[in-house]
């Protein structure tokens, strides 16, 4: 693309054009903001990396206009099972169970196919200017704008472009991370794995585990789906490099087929790619410097054993998008962006730790150590895996010590509801702003008039569960997601943020007033003028 076609000043500059950048561009453009994207490669990366998204990310993608396309590029995950060398189960993670967002906990994807969908979505918006084959040489900032200098790789032409903010979603070797002065914290996990994707031939059914980690010290192996494209289902194998092997040896195609031979042969499938990766655990200490921010692999890198790498990056985009929207519209102070690192870094850090926990289960090439591991699982003495994290800092209802109160920081439920004579997904019928969800009309009746006035002044919607959805704000919980969730957490009310996380909760109608007062204080702190609207 001719760099002269790019506006000299845009709302947001994006460096990199992987999934995080693609989706952040869409999120911002949907809200009317101009975005210019710069990617050094002239074509999108053609090979798959990530193979799954979780229920939260599925919900996010559906909410930003891709609900109808998702069924064609995803398929529900089976249970994720971990076996020892004798195929005795050590651990099972039920990715197939019903999630609080509706659908399974996890869906498998073929990343090139999914990214093509993201790209098509981005190109629908005139607000998004995509510059492929344009390498960013430098980034800088003033008090008024961020700036980058890019070079057209083909012509050598250079141009400087300004934006109100600049986001580096430029991968693990991020230029933007260097520019903001961030240092990567190395959590100490490092292992080389050969990643192989196979497309079984038409009509071939492979006799392999649906989704498994084969924790055999002789050759730790991953066997999982690798998504669907045009109705064809891919499979992935990952093989750990053993101490006696060289990288060069493992990168040979003949070696790859030899490793695959117990599972699949050339007569049964096509090897789409084989590539050796070094799995690491890294997290940047700083995610923002003024108008420069980082997201995705630029901010965090984790082993793939929890399937959360791309999910974590898309959470970054989702967290950034509603905050940038308010700031760019003049409806919030720039200080709101300080909550981005406060919220996302601890969450991503915990996901890195969870991924490392699982990585340490399988990455054992020593038979004696593997036997001790097996025994610890069988006798129950093993340290259990960390729980999947919630938000713990940032814009949440907190006590005087800064700890989340009640259910603050948890992800809210989602499902099909009936409201105003229509049935559909909650997000579609309610919108994406701050919303107070009440357990019943009785809770609404017990609220103080002052709280109702405050909520209206802040633009917070109020809805409640009911058997009859004819009254204003009433909705029927068709999928039975909201009632059981609120009962489980003993909630009379939950105050949901634009990104689906709970700002806070109330166990009774009497606790709603202090919750609303706390939100009003945060509105004042961040100069929020009104809640996000669609």
The DSSP H or E segment spanning 229 is strand 221-229
Whole-angstrom CA distances from 372 to 29, 90, 367 are: 53, 12, 9
Q: What are phi and psi of 232, to 5 degrees?
A: -100, 135
pLDDT digits (tens, 9 = 90+) for 411-465: 999 999 999 999 999 999 998 899 999 999 999 999 999 999 999 999 999 999 9
Domain ranges of the chain: 3-75+107-182+282-353, 416-525
pLDDT at 48: 87
pLDDT at 374: 98
Distance CA 295, CA 284 (A): 10
pLDDT at 529: 80
Distance CA 110, CA 122 (A): 19
pLDDT digits (tens, 9 = 90+) for 265-319: 999 999 999 999 999 999 999 999 999 999 999 999 999 999 999 999 999 999 9
Domain 416-525 has CATH 2.40.440.10: no
Instruction: Write the class of the CATH domain 3-75+107-182+282-353.
Output: alpha beta
Whole-angstrom CA distances from 38 to 178, 189, 291 are: 17, 31, 17
- 3-class SS of residue 204: coil
- Given a cut of 50, whether residue 163 has pLDDT beyond it is yes
Q: Are 200 and 297 in contact (CB under 8 A)?
A: no
pLDDT at 45: 85
pLDDT at 496: 98
- Given a cut of 90, whether residue 4 has pLDDT beyond it is no
pLDDT at 531: 44
Q: Which residues contact 93 (CB under 8 A, 6 or more apart)?
A: 79, 80, 81, 82
- Residue 90: name the closest of 369, 350, 370 by CA: 370
Measured between its terminal Cα atoms, the distance across the chain in Å is: 31
Average pLDDT over residues 213-240: 98
Average pLDDT over residues 167-177: 98
Q: Are 40 and 133 in contact (CB under 8 A)?
A: yes
pLDDT at 17: 98
pLDDT band at 47 (very low <50, low <70, confident <90, very high): confident
Q: Are 63 and 152 in contact (CB under 8 A)?
A: no
- Residue 432: name the closest of 30, 123, 130 by CA: 30
């Amino acid at each position: 693309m001719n760099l002269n076609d790019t506006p000299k000043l845009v709302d947001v500059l994006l460096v990199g054009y992987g999934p995080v950048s693609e989706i952040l561009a869409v999120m911002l453009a949907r809200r009317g903001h101009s975005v210019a994207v710069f990617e050094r490669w002239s074509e999108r990366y053609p090979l798959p990396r990530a193979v799954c998204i979780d229920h939260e990310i599925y919900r996010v993608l559906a909410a930003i206009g891709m609900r109808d396309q998702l069924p064609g590029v995803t398929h529900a995950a089976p249970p994720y099972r971990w076996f020892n060398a004798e195929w005795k189960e050590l651990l099972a993670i039920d990715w197939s169970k019903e999630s609080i967002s509706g659908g399974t906990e996890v869906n498998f994807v073929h990343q090139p196919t999914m990214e093509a969908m993201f790209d098509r979505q981005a190109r629908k918006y005139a607000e998004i200017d995509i510059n492929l084959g344009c390498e960013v040489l430098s980034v800088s900032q003033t008090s008024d704008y961020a700036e980058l200098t890019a070079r057209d790789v083909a012509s050598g032409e250079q141009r400087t472009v300004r934006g109100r903010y600049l986001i580096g979603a430029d991968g693990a070797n991020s230029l933007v991370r260097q520019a903001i002065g961030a240092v990567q914290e190395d959590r100490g996990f490092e292992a080389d794995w050969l990643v192989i994707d196979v497309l079984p031939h038409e009509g071939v059914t492979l006799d392999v585990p649906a989704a498994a980690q084969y924790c055999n010290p002789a050759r730790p192996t991953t066997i999982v789906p690798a998504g669907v494209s045009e109705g064809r289902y891919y499979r992935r194998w990952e093989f750990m490099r053993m101490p006696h092997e060289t990288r060069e040896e493992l990168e040979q195609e003949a070696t790859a087929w030899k490793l695959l031979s117990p599972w699949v042969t050339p007569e049964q499938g096509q090897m789409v790619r084989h590539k050796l990766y070094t799995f690491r655990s890294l997290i940047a200490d700083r995610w923002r410097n003024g108008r420069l921010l980082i997201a995705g692999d630029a901010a965090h890198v984790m082993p793939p054993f929890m399937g959360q790498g791309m999910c974590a990056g898309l959470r970054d985009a989702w967290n950034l998008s509603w905050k940038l929207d308010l700031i760019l519209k003049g409806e919030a102070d720039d200080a709101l962006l300080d909550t981005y690192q406060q919220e996302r870094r601890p969450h991503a850090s915990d996901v890195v730790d969870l991924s490392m926990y699982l990585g340490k289960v399988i990455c054992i090439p020593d038979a004696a150590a593997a036997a001790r591991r097996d025994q610890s699982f069988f006798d129950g003495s093993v340290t259990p895996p960390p729980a999947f994290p919630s938000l713990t800092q940032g814009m949440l209802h907190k006590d005087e010590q800064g700890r989340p109160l009640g259910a603050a920081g948890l992800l809210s439920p989602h499902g099909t509801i009936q409201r105003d004579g229509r049935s559909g997904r909650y997000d579609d019928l309610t919108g994406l702003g701050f919303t107070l969800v009440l357990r019943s009309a009785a809770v609404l009746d017990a609220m103080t008039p002052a709280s109702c006035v405050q909520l209206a002044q802040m633009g917070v919607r109020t809805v409640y569960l009911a058997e009859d959805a004819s009254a204003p704000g009433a909705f029927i919980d068709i999928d039975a997601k909201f009632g059981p969730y609120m009962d489980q957490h003993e909630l009379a009310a939950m105050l949901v943020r634009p990104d689906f996380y709970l700002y806070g909760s109330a166990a009774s109608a009497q606790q709603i007033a202090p919750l609303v007062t706390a939100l009003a204080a945060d509105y004042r702190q961040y100069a929020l003028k009104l809640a996000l609207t669609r």
